[in-house]
Amino acid sequence: MAAERGGPVVEMRAVNASDVSEFLRVSQSSGLFRGEELGAVAGMLEGHFAAGESSEQTILVYESGGVLRGVVCFTERPFADRVWELQMIAVDGAEQRRGIGARMLRAVEDWVRERGGRLLLIETSDQGSFERTRQFYRSHGYAEVARIPDYFADGDGKVSFVRRLS
């Protein structure tokens, strides 16, 4: 899978079991996950591999020079007409602000469009430390459509974004 608009081609491939430690390293170095949250990321991967071909999630990695630099997970939402959700996107902290995340996001949008998707949803934290993340989504055409206080934990609300793809 490749995306090339707005920069060099980003080659992404399906995650495999040998990627788990690097996937977790990228997730942690991205600054989006606390150490105790990495268990949930590991559990997501474990569930994905256990489900095999029947996994509802698409989990891809971006690798450059033999090093995993970015990861992404997304899924089609049940009970909704052609609605997909980006569940996770993370770029290695040392590689951020170089356009990798933007190119990965465009690759996901292209993937979803190719499968007839019409909306892509994204949810993130309302914490101040996630302002850069929320600005990233806004700058890529995502509209903030909802806020739910205390969603993730007391004092940590959810912000929802959406973009029409078709």
Q: What is the pLDDT of residue 1?
A: 54
We report the CATH number of the domain holding residue 146 as: 3.40.630.30
What is the mean pLDDT of the segment spanning 97-117?
Answer: 94
On the question of pLDDT at 9 being above 70, the answer is no
Asked whether the beta carbons of 26 and 91 are under 8 A apart, the reply is yes
pLDDT score at 10 = 56
Q: What are the tens digits of pLDDT across the range 122-155?
A: 999 999 999 999 999 999 999 999 999 999 999 9
pLDDT of residue 5: 47
Number of independent structural domains in the chain: 1
CB atoms within 10 A of CB 97: 8
- Which two three-digit tokens encode residue 23? 């996937």
β-strands 119-125, 83-91: how paired? Answer: parallel
**What ranges make up the beta strands (E) of 6-155?**
10-14, 57-64, 67-76, 83-91, 119-125, 143-153
- Do 28 and 35 touch, CB atoms closer than 8 A? yes
What is the pLDDT of the chain when averaged over all its residues? 91
Across residues 17-36, what is the average pLDDT?
90
Write out the residue range of the structural domain in which residue 50 sits.
2-164
